[in-house]
Amino acid sequence: MKHRRYLPAVLITVLLLGGCAFPGKHAITDEAAAAVEAGDYAGALELLENAEKAGEDEQLLHRARALADMGLADYDGAVDEFIRALSANSGYVRRLDVDSSYYLAVAQYRSGDVEGAKDTYSAIISLYPEESDAFLQRGKTELKLGERDNALADFNRAVSLRRDDPDLYIQIYESLNQSGLKEDGSVYLKNAMELNTKLTNLQKGKLYYCMEDYDKAKDALEAARNEGAGGNVTLYLGRTYEALGDTNYAASLYRAYLEENPSDVEVCNQLGLCCLDMGDYNGALNAFNQGLSIPDNEYEQTLLYNQIVAYEYLTDFDQASVLMDAYLSVYPDDEAAVRESRFLETR
């Protein structure tokens, strides 16, 4: 991995330059950006080669190339291109630079450079201390680095900037819970419930689910679904029915939703887990594979690991071993995977 410690200084210099719109040419780059939006990442890169030959605006060109690289899971390449975009210091839109910086941090994180991602969020915060999202995301990187106290301080700062946003409290709880800090996270749930008059049925349902009050969660989430809430309600409603022991109905909810929204990676993963729980291992594998077919998704590592587990349940240990070797070549620090690899060696 190509980790660069000079990024914060570059970023601060770029963001201070601020400016107006883009006076140069960018018609081909705009076409490439539309291709990225449509998921045609290879086509976008071809267009950007032409844009570069035509001398189009460098900042927009490198940013579009970085986004295409992310779509192709080339995170090191994306980091390079975002740096070039941020360094192309003529004719800036300041908010666009901040947006690119957030993407840069995501690319760094996914490439394994968690420290670099933290530095990038710190650079944003140093210039824009009211950026609640930057504190939230820096807190998540600090959890990954084992810096509990720093993470809590950043989460508290994020909340102080968005006290009336219950979804923020839920995000913080979920991050802490996933890091084994459920007790710390429960404080945020309690604070969110005190916003009762501001809560939607979906938000109430998510909070009740996190608090393990599944009957109340079901009632609130069913009400949210009747109001036309989207994928998030399906995910939490399905999880609630799973917690209540009705995995068959949960799976039917996930499948019905995915028929109309096949690119919802989180629901694909949850359907796979639900199928594993029901003993439907082929169904689980199909769900994980569906998620993996969707490029540039943040659940790729989870899906790859769960795919291996599905092959194990199917007693296809040879394929599981091949996939585990590939997985560990990318994620060598996953201790659970290392232990599972040792198990596969005995099969």
Look at 327 and 20; give whichever has higher pLDDT. 327
Could you read off the pLDDT of 274-300 as tens digits, one per residue? 999 999 999 999 999 999 998 777 899
**Which tokens is 295 given?**
């490029």
Q: What is the pLDDT of residue 228?
A: 84
- Which pLDDT band, with edges at 50, 70 and 90, does 256 fall under? very high
On the question of pLDDT at 66 being above 80, the answer is yes
On the question of pLDDT at 240 being above 60, the answer is yes
Q: What is the pLDDT of residue 218?
A: 97
Confirm if 251 and 235 have CB atoms less than 8 A apart: no
Q: Which long-range contacts (C-beta less than 8 Å, at least 24 apart) are formed by 182-186?
A: 184/148, 184/152, 185/210, 186/211
Q: What is the pLDDT of residue 334?
A: 85
Range name among 260-269, 280-289, 317-326, 337-346 with the lowest pLDDT average = 337-346
Could you give the count of Cα atoms lying within 13 Å of 212 in the half-sphere of its Cβ? 3
Q: What is the pLDDT of residue 6?
A: 43
pTM value?
Answer: 0.82
- Which pLDDT band, with edges at 50, 70 and 90, does 1 fall under? very low
- Out of 84-88, 146-150, 299-303, 338-342, the most confident range is 146-150
Domains of the chain with CATH codes: 1-126 (1.25.40.10), 129-197 (1.25.40.10)
- Which pLDDT band, with edges at 50, 70 and 90, does 11 fall under? low
Q: What is the pLDDT of residue 10?
A: 52
Taking Cα atoms as reference points, which of 73, 28, 27 lies closest to residue 292?
A: 73
Region 314-319: what's the mean pLDDT? Answer: 95
% of the chain beyond a pLDDT of 90: 72
Could you read off the pLDDT of 146-204 as tens digits, one per residue? 999 999 999 999 999 999 999 999 999 999 999 999 999 999 999 999 887 678 999 99
